[in-house]
Amino acid sequence: MPPKKAIAFGKIGSFGQLSISTQPVTKSEDSGFGKFGKSDEEFRVEPTADVERAMGFQGFGKSKAAPVKNFDLESLVEQSKQVARERERNSLKVSGAVNSVEVEAAENVIGPTPPPQTTESIVTESEENKISLAPKKPSKITTRTHSDDEDVDSSDSEDDDETGTYIPAALEVNLNHGTKPVSALSVDHSGARLISGSVDYDVKLWDFAGMSSSLQSFRTIRPCESHPILDLHYSITGDAILIISGTAQAKVVDRDGYEKAECVKGDQYITDMARTKGHIASLMGGCWHPRDKQEFLTCSQDGTCRIWNVEDVKQHKGIMKSRSQNGLRAAPTSCTYSRDGNLIACACNDGSIQMWDHRKMFVNTSVLIRNAHQSGTETSSIVFAYDGRNVATRGGDSTLKLWDIRQPKSPVHSVGDLFSRFSMTNCAFSPNDRLLFTGTSFQKGESGGKVVFLDRTTFERVHEIDVPKAHVVRALWHPKLNQIIVGAGDGNIHLYYDAAKSHNGAKLCLGKPKRIRPHEMMSTVRVITPHALPMFREDKPRSTRRAMEKARKDPLLSKQPDLPIGNKGSGGRVATSGSTLSSYIVRNLGIASRIEDEGNPREAILRHASAAAANPYWVSPAYSKTQPKPIWAPENNDGDEEPDAKKGKLN
């Protein structure tokens, strides 16, 4: 038996290559085991050129690594400096060319100098002259569009963006709600739908994505019968709408306008409002909770603010009583939640602002501002800023005030001369929280209402949007759409937006064509009968226009009114002379024996007395035997003598 060889493990080289030892290993006499594995002769390097060529690569990792690229920082800096110097020289050459052209034009032009040309036009003209010396073609006259206006005002808009006072009011779209003032507006958080309410009792729902350029609402409802709509609000999820009307019961409808819940009405014979399950007087305002989609708030003229749950509207969830300074009832005119939902604020008709902490019992107010506005006026709106520190109130005394809830003794800013005719006029903050805006009504001698924008820090008027020949009742600025929506007193809804910085909303429906009217479409289903007889075969309608013209000629399909007929009747119709009994009596008896009514009626009756006495027919024969003889009073020839009853008594 030949001797066994030992196992050769080899060693790892410096470049990761495995080198196999070729020295033979002698057997140790001390060990009693043989060698395992194959002999050293079997570890031979085989040629791999054919394998590399078949598999499509150059080798099995034997190639050297690519050299690392070294960057020379000093050369890069020098190169960038040289590029900057060349750009500066080019700009100086362009400015010099502009100045030389202006001087030559000023010397050749007689009269006032034309406006200066831009650098772009000078550069393009110089390039054209270099390319060819052919005469230029006359330029076409172009009209100025909205895009040109945007290019002109681009610098102004950039400056406004830096200061945070840019207002998207470059373009306008009008929606017609009706003829009466739009008293309520709301847009859902996604910006897909708009809802509007008016004092004409109607609520209209608008879908921006499904609306065409005809700008028509997809649904109109009348949820509260003959009560004006005072306020509308979408929930935080957009699946429910809170409707506040002139009744004592608030309603909640779904996204499509179908009723989901209606609050219960309280007992008006109970004096303690905490003992009643709901409001007993007309509502004034309401809103949804900013964090909880099931909770909403309402305020009423019964002097209470109540918290409700959508799932259980048979009884209020919480109640807050607003009191005046002398302890009597004060009716809240508007209410709202803070941005985090921890505070509930309401403005009352005594001019006070009262706030309660939502996390505590509603016994005492956490913030109380007396004489915030003039007593006896309706504070139409109260709203929190996005940072939660400031509160803005729109008073019925033509003022707008900004308050700090940390120091509520006096307003931070106040502005007057904001006349309003409506108790629903609101105020709101811009999405960046730097502007505060509200609407005004126009007085005698003014052209229309305005939407006034004020700087929050200085309360200076930044911008005004004029609404011609209409009062501004409602105004809101949607943060996602970046569009301003204004409800006017003439029944129109004005949407202001910017073509570049506004998104969706009114921009979606302007490019869509108008829908085909229902009466222009073929409503009847055509039955195809290829093997029908010619007398029963129907012609294929080629176009709706020809079908309408053919139906117009048919008196039955067009419902043509009956034409007047002549002396003789036809087709079951009786002529004016007619063949009925009444027409015969009128024609033969009434007209033939016509009595002149202009004479004395007594003489006309007595004319037949001799004939009735000579030939009695109706009454006289029946009473001939029992009829008493008439006794006539003697004739008195003396007309001056008075009867005995009227003669005066002699003394």
Beta strands in 381-482 (DSSP E): 381-384, 390-394, 400-404, 413-415, 427-429, 435-440, 448-455, 461-468, 472-478
- 332-337 and 318-321 strand pairing: unpaired
Q: How far is CA 223 from CA 252, 312, 480, in A?
A: 10, 20, 29
Handedness of CA 518, 519, 522, 523 (dihedral sign): positive
CATH number of 171-511: 2.130.10.10
Token look-up 């003489």 returns 603
Q: Give the bridge partners for 234, in sequence order.
A: 241
Stretch 448-474: mean pLDDT, rounded? Answer: 92
Q: What is the pLDDT of residues 526-563, one digit of tens each?
A: 777 888 888 887 776 667 788 888 888 888 888 888 77
Stretch 619-638: mean pLDDT, rounded? Answer: 74
Total-model pTM: 0.58
d(CA 438, CA 452): 6
Specify the DSSP element, H or E, that contains 286: strand 283-288
Token look-up 């509200």 returns 438
Q: What is the pLDDT of residues 12-39, one digit of tens each?
A: 444 444 444 445 544 444 444 455 555 5
d(CA 290, CA 297): 11
Given a contact cutoff of 8 angstroms between Cβ atoms, the answer to whether 496 and 198 are in contact is: no
Q: In 3-state terms, what secondary structure has residue 519?
A: helix
pLDDT of residue 91 exceeding 80: no
pLDDT of residue 156 exceeding 90: no
Q: How far is CA 183 from CA 48, 243, 384, 421, 451, in A?
A: 88, 12, 21, 12, 15
Tokens at residue 623, please? Answer: 């009473």
Domain ranges of the chain: 171-511
Tokens at residue 218, please? Answer: 């997809």
Given a contact cutoff of 8 angstroms between Cβ atoms, the answer to whether 331 and 284 are in contact is: yes
Q: What is the pLDDT of residues 184-194, one digit of tens each?
A: 999 999 999 99
Handedness of CA 263, 269, 271, 275 (dihedral sign): negative
Given a contact cutoff of 8 angstroms between Cβ atoms, the answer to whether 265 and 255 are in contact is: no
Q: What is the pLDDT of residues 495-526, one digit of tens each?
A: 999 988 898 888 888 877 765 555 444 455 67
